[in-house]
Amino acid sequence: MLSESSVLARLGHGEAIHGLLGSVPSPLLCEMVAAAGYDFLILDREHLLRGEEELMHCLRACEAAGIAAWLRLPEVDAKQIGRALDAGFETIVLPRVESADEVARAVAAAWFPPQGRRGISGGRVTGFGALALPDYIARVNGEPRIVPMIESAAGLEALPAILAQPGVAMVLEGALDLALDLGLGPQPAHPQVWRALQRIAEACAEAGVPFCANPRTPEQLDHWRERGIRCFLAGEDRGLLLAALKNRLHDLQQKN
């Protein structure tokens, strides 16, 4: 049944939260990420051809294990946003957002009239009718659940207008894609990108919208903590798993 996002609520109460981008389709891995202590998992449909049945299994695994399930969609699609929220995903992550209009359309797809344009359903997310529809609508329309990612120069320029839109729960940085868009190649730690991330964090602070950092070095992590950032993305499960497996093999192969 729909409930307030515990992750966003905890962030609002001053706690730190930690998430992971999930690119390995596996309910078992969802449970493992929860067991490791992460607070939220972003299941990815931007770069993966994932089926809806598989997503539902992953969603149920997250719910059972006590980790918040977020979904990254490839674009603003009103029908997909509504169906994902009807299924029980807590938050919709949108990559490469470059205009306030994109956010406004996403929020309209997430909220019911008169604030939005989402169609009503009394299915899984209402406990199959256990939560009265007026109460359900009031909860949905009172809580932001859209997370735009800023991954381009156009997104940087549009950020003040994006942050002015109601319904933005958080802003997530995409340093790697931002570096590519700026013509710097795959260099997410480039000084120009780092300066851009500071602009994003500053704009979010001024607007009172949480900023989620994806620190790539211990120095970056220290910097964000000193700035008071409390939401962190640990990266992507594929990369972390591969690194751990390679490091373990390297240790075993070392000669005494």
Nearest residue to 230 (alpha-carbon basis) of 8, 6, 4: 8
d(CA 207, CA 144): 14
Are 126 and 1 a contacting pair, CB within 8 Å?
A: yes
From the CB of residue 202, how many other CB atoms can be counted at a distance below 10 Å? 13
d(CA 115, CA 112): 6
Tell me if the bond preceding 114 is cis, omega within 30° of 0.
yes
pTM for this entry:
0.94
Q: What angle do CA 139, 145, 149 make, to 5 degrees?
A: 170
Query: Regarding beta strands 146-150 and 91-94, do their DSSP bridges make them parallel or antiparallel, or are they unpaired?
Result: parallel
Helix (H) or strand (E) holding 179: helix 175-181
For residue 150, report the phi and psi dihedrals to the nearest 5 degrees.
Answer: -105, 110
Residue-wise pLDDT tens digits, 71-106: 999 999 999 999 999 999 999 999 999 999 999 999
Q: Mean pLDDT over residues 174-193, rounded?
A: 96
Residues of the chain with pLDDT > 90, as a percent, come to 85
Give me the catalytic one of 13, 47, 190, 223: 47
For the question of residue 13 being annotated catalytic, the response is no
d(CA 60, CA 80): 18
